[in-house]
Amino acid sequence: MTYSSTQQEPKLLLPLETNRLILRDYKSQDWERFHIYGSNSEFSQFEAWGPNSVDETKKFIADMVAQSKDLPRFKFDFAICLKDSDLLIGGCGIRRESQESKVANMGWAINPEFQNKGFASVELPRQYRTI
């Protein structure tokens, strides 16, 4: 894992990059791209969330922005963006219940427009090995 030594708590150096993707912290303006798939009832039928209203999506993104500033950080949720355009195409995360927890859950959600292109099956697993 790559950390910055400039803070008391280790900090993962972001963004993380693959050949085609950038994993970065969410930005407040990401809500619009997230809402494209987050409001889709067909997409969210197998998720624990959604379909989202605009307000729910904006709250989620605001929560993710705030979470990215937590120290110590033990929940890592990232926007998945195309490397060549920074276009948000999904989200992913690795989350522990607490700083002391030895167990984490992980997952990702890719906008249906960008599924079946190897992003979740090839690109993301490579990055999860570095975290």
What type of residue sits at position 69? Answer: K
What pLDDT, in 10s, does the model give residues 71-130? 888 899 999 999 999 999 999 998 988 888 888 888 889 999 999 998 877 665 555 555
What pLDDT, in 10s, does the model give residues 78-92? 999 999 999 999 999
CATH dotted code for 3-128: 3.40.630.30
Q: What is the DSSP letter of 22?
A: E
Looking at residue 4, its pLDDT comes to 47
Give the whole-angstrom CA distance, residue 3 versus residue 42: 38
Which among 55, 37, 52, 58 is positioned nearest to 111, based on CA atoms? 37
Domains of the chain, residue spans: 3-128
pTM (2 d.p.): 0.84
